[in-house]
């Protein structure tokens, strides 16, 4: 039976989800200071798989994880893995708030891809949301000012990959459960990332292992808590709460890494979030929920 609607409970789970996302960002920066991106992703996937395994065993075991669409899972996870690698690498290059702001263009790219490949209608509201998001990116990146950073390009590439991944997930949810999708995500990405991870493998220092466990756990808990929040309230209520990640990321970046945010980043982030809100308001709650994503 579905949980009863409750704004306080939704806000509680959303706060835990945001906390998990912030923990993932911080632990990602700490781990990539010592290890290469591919090794961090491999450790995250393998540890995450063993964290998920007890839930798999209590939900029918490995037999219940069989899928009729293995090629769709493989394609989705190769693209998603590429996006995660680009996102994690960008995390080492640009301030947290800038990265999170540009990452929020994912729904914009999803909308473009849905129009291009799924035949969805390009309404005036959707077009306006796309334009706002793209203008927001230009304001943040400011290519004419000579401030283009490779990190901007990497996180833009990550956002596009996440958009493609979401379109694929939208299709997979018609036949596979969320648990099965996450199971195959961790399994396939562990296999895809094994060779690049081993190429420059370094044994993590003892002091780094807590951060490795945190990035693996927070990657799982962020999705779990977000799903719990969505069980208590519609995505039209939950998604604006998620936008708190932008100012909170700016605060964390300022407190921990002495990062400064200029007026262009703040203005561009506002335009991107406005585009997201406009795009969200025109969707049904079910569709908006299906398009919610994170790294």
Token pair 């947290």: residue: 96
What span, in angstroms and rounded, lies between the C-alpha atoms of 133 and 291?
Answer: 16
CA-wise closest residue to 264 among 150, 145, 176, 139: 139
Query: Which of 143-147, 166-170, 185-189 is least confident?
Result: 143-147
**126 vs 266, higher pLDDT:** 266
| 254 half-sphere exposure, CB direction, 13 A CA radius | 10
Residue 53, pLDDT score? 92
What span, in angstroms and rounded, lies between the C-alpha atoms of 152 and 87?
Answer: 10
Domain borders along the chain are: 7-290
Runs of H (alpha helix) within 104-208: 106-117, 124-141, 150-172, 178-199
Residue 96 zone, left/alpha/beta (φ > 0; ψ -120 to 50; rest)? alpha
Please report which confidence band the pLDDT of residue 36 belongs to, taking 50, 70 and 90 as the band edges.
Answer: very high
Residue 287, pLDDT score? 43
Query: For the chain, how many residues are written?
Result: 295
Q: What is the mean pLDDT of residues 278-294?
A: 52
CA-wise closest residue to 84 among 141, 28, 136: 28
pLDDT tens-digit profile of 240-253? 777 788 888 988 99
Query: Which of 79-83, 200-204, 235-239 is least confident?
Result: 235-239
Q: What is the mean pLDDT of residues 192-207?
A: 93
Residue 37, pLDDT score? 95
């Amino acid at each position: 039976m579905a949980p009863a609607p409750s704004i306080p409970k939704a806000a509680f789970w959303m706060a835990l989800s945001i906390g998990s996302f912030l923990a993932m960002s911080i632990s990602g920066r700490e781990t990539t200071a010592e290890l290469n991106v591919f090794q961090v992703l491999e450790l995250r996937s393998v540890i995450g798989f063993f964290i998920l395994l007890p839930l798999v065993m209590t939900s029918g075991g490995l037999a219940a994880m069989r899928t009729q669409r293995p090629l769709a899972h493989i394609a989705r996870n190769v693209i998603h893995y590429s996006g995660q690698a680009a996102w994690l690498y960008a995390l080492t290059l640009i301030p947290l708030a800038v990265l999170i702001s540009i990452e929020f263009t994912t729904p914009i790219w999803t909308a473009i891809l849905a129009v291009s490949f799924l035949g969805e209608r390009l309404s005036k509201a959707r077009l306006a949301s796309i334009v706002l998001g793209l203008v927001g990116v230009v304001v943040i990146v400011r290519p004419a000012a000579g401030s283009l950073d490779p990190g901007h390009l990497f996180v833009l590439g990550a956002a596009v990959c996440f958009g493609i991944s979401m379109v694929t997930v939208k299709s997979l949810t018609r036949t596979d459960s969320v648990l099965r999708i996450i199971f195959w995500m961790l399994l396939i990405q562990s296999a895809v990332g094994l060779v690049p991870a081993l190429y420059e493998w370094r044994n993590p220092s003892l002091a780094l292992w807590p951060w490795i466990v945190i990035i693996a756990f927070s990657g799982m808990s962020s999705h779990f808590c977000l799903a719990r929040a969505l069980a208590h309230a519609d995505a039209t209520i939950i998604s604006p709460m998620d936008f708190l990640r932008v100012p909170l990321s700016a605060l964390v970046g300022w407190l921990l890494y002495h990062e400064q945010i200029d007026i262009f980043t703040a203005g561009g982030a506002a335009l991107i979030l406005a585009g997201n809100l406009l795009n969200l308001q025109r969707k049904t709650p079910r569709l908006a929920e299906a398009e919610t994503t994170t790294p």
